[in-house]
Amino acid sequence: MNIQNVIDTNVKKGFLALYDTELPTVEFQATRKEFDGDVTVVVFPMLRFKKGNPVQIGEDLGGYLVANVKEIKDFNVVKGFLNLVISDEFYLNFFQSIYKETHFGIATLHTDEKAVMVEYSSPNTNKPLHLGHVRNNLLGFSVAEIIKATGKKVYKTQIINDRGIHICKSMLAWQKFGNGETPISTGLKGDKLVGNYYVKFDQEYKKEIARLIADGKNEEDAKKEAPILLEAQEMLRKWEAGDAATVALWKEMNGWVYDGFEATYSNMGVNFDTLYYESDTYLLGKDVVTQGLEKGVFYRKEDNSVWCDLTAEGLDEKIVLRSDGTAVYMTQDIGTAIQRVKDYTDVGGMVYTVGNEQDYHFQVLFLILKKLGFDWAKQLHHLSYGMVDLPSGKMKSREGTVVDADDLIDEMTATAKEISEELGKLEGYSESEKEELYKIIGLGALKYFVLKVDPKKRILFDPKSSVDFQGNTGPFIQYTYARIQSIIRKANFDSSSMVTIELHQKEKELLKQLVVFPETIQQAATNYSPAIIANYTYDLVKEFNSFYQNVSILGEENKDKKIFRVQLSNKVAQTIKIAFSLLGIQVPERM
């Protein structure tokens, strides 16, 4: 039961009964620590509908609520704020209703609702996944899990950018300089091997530009006429024409990369239900352009190119077909969106996890799909996120200055090991148990650091500060979970039956946090923001630690209180575990 809904309904009823006036909305805010109360109703906005003294209106409504709502036992008014005290009975009834619920906060599947497709990762097959992909994957995976937790069916997908000039650059460099080496012969992951040749191409390209400039060419012509670039362009033409040898090499090198990606995804703890490949989708959308021309959504210019005029919507004109009849990225994205709904007929909306440099692209894409008349186009969302910066500056793939995702995960594990050993927290663990724990802590630190920040904000990532056992970090929350497991292991008495007690203020504060967990998941889904879950979990853990420091749990002499406190601790731990699972983070049973 949502107490805020109960209060909302009854404040409106009370306003009507007291002043014969309908109140359209009720504004709430968190009760300030210095005031007595659990829920605060803001009176000031009501003055638009009833002139008068806000304190008197608060007193009137408070009296009405205490008289008419059994869950409200007292109130006080501070200026224009009505602070309501909720009865212990409400919180105890709530706890009894959730105590044995194994998936508290998680809604059952709504079979009557349309599914949502969430796209994330979508890498190029010419380089390994890097730090930017890490934020993308963690965000997309978490948002998919959060939406799923609200009862919707979710498909996780990616479109792999496996064609184009950048792919040919890696292929050509390998042909020229690779001496037939493979992931097996080198011991390198396939995506790293191919990425090395992308860097090699850039190095050789720059050398050729320098030679041409030394021979008297201007820089612009030198860039266009460098022989290695012309060869890469020729390779792309051969691929598009279906040349057998080129296609065979493309398949072989992409195969190496896919194996590498799969290992990284597994290491990162993310997965997909379905995959799309640009080599299959790059021709999609051309037929749609023909239909759009007939509907008047697009128009043809004198040079035969096709455009969509979005100036009336405050955007510009967008090309969808070049004058030679070839498609652009926008055409492909239009076609792919339509194809996905054909492939998965239960899909009623999509979420695209793509960096904020593509904001305009998605504005245009969604608008064109609406103009083409697709109902599901109203349910498209661009999960736009800021870049991840490092203290050392910006990353560049072609120059080989990216932070590799695998290396980052290894570094996080090593940092977790170093800090854990300094703190001496792991006595009695075997070496294999320690290694597993270091990875759980390191990966948890990375994921939490990335996900606790609102997606739209830029992140400056500092591996060392993320693995901290104090403050708003993953390891701090994991440590609290492990501490609760230790309490439960030591509770050598039956704590399965429900008891009724008078609540301590610290118990009540914890229950107040638990009450809002289901609506927090809903809020995170509505806002496509794992940060809401992350920061909720931190608040819950802070509240538990305050409870732990202020009341005795296993040392409590009153049997019923002791049982209740173990039960409450257990429920907090379960909620931490569920919340962290929505972020893709594991929790260790001991630390």
Q: pLDDT digits over 384-429, tens only?
A: 999 888 766 544 444 445 688 998 899 899 988 888 887 776 777 8
Query: What is the pLDDT at residue 398?
Result: 47
What's the average model confidence in pLDDT over 527-556?
97
Does any domain span residue 179?
no
Number of domains in the chain: 2
Does any domain span residue 99?
no
Percentage, residues of the chain above pLDDT 90: 84
Query: What is the pLDDT at residue 397?
Result: 44
Instruction: Report the sign of the C-alpha dihedral through residues 163, 167, 169, 174, in that order.
Output: negative
Q: Can you list the alpha helix ranges (DSSP code H) found in 372-455?
A: 405-423, 431-451
Last residue in a domain, options 86, 106, 140:
86
CATH at residue 19:
3.30.1360.70
Q: Is residue 28 classed as helix, strand or coil in its secondary structure?
A: strand
Which band of pLDDT confidence, cut at 50, 70 and 90, is reported for residue 478? Answer: very high
Query: What is the pLDDT at residue 1?
Result: 59
Does any domain span residue 133?
no
Last residue in a domain, options 71, 86, 101:
86
* Cα distances (Å, whole numbers) of residue 238 to 5, 254, 283: 64, 17, 16
What's the average model confidence in pLDDT over 260-279?
96
Considering the chain, what is the average pLDDT of its residues? 93
Give the pLDDT confidence of 453-467 residue by residue, as tens digits.
999 999 988 777 788
Cα–Cα nearest to 385, from 450, 445, 458:
458
Domain range for 415:
409-582
Give the pLDDT confidence of 62-105 residue by residue, as tens digits.
999 999 999 999 999 999 999 999 999 999 999 999 998 999 99
Last residue in a domain, options 86, 119, 138:
86
Percentage, residues of the chain above pLDDT 70: 98
Block residue for tokens 């910066």:
389
Block residue for tokens 């931490």:
576
Examine the pLDDT at 561 and tell me if it is beyond 60. yes
Block residue for tokens 């301590």:
504
CATH at residue 552:
1.10.730.10
Does any domain span residue 476?
yes
Does any domain span residue 501?
yes
Residue 344 vs residue 2, higher pLDDT: 344
Does any domain span residue 19?
yes
What's the average model confidence in pLDDT over 172-187?
97
Taking the CB of residue 525, how many other CB atoms lie within 10 A of it? 24
Cα distance between the two ends of the chain: 35
What's the average model confidence in pLDDT over 121-145?
94
Q: Where is average pLDDT lowest: 396-410, 428-442, 483-497?
A: 396-410
What's the average model confidence in pLDDT over 371-386?
96
Query: What is the pLDDT at residue 30?
Result: 85
CB 234 within 8 A of CB 228: no
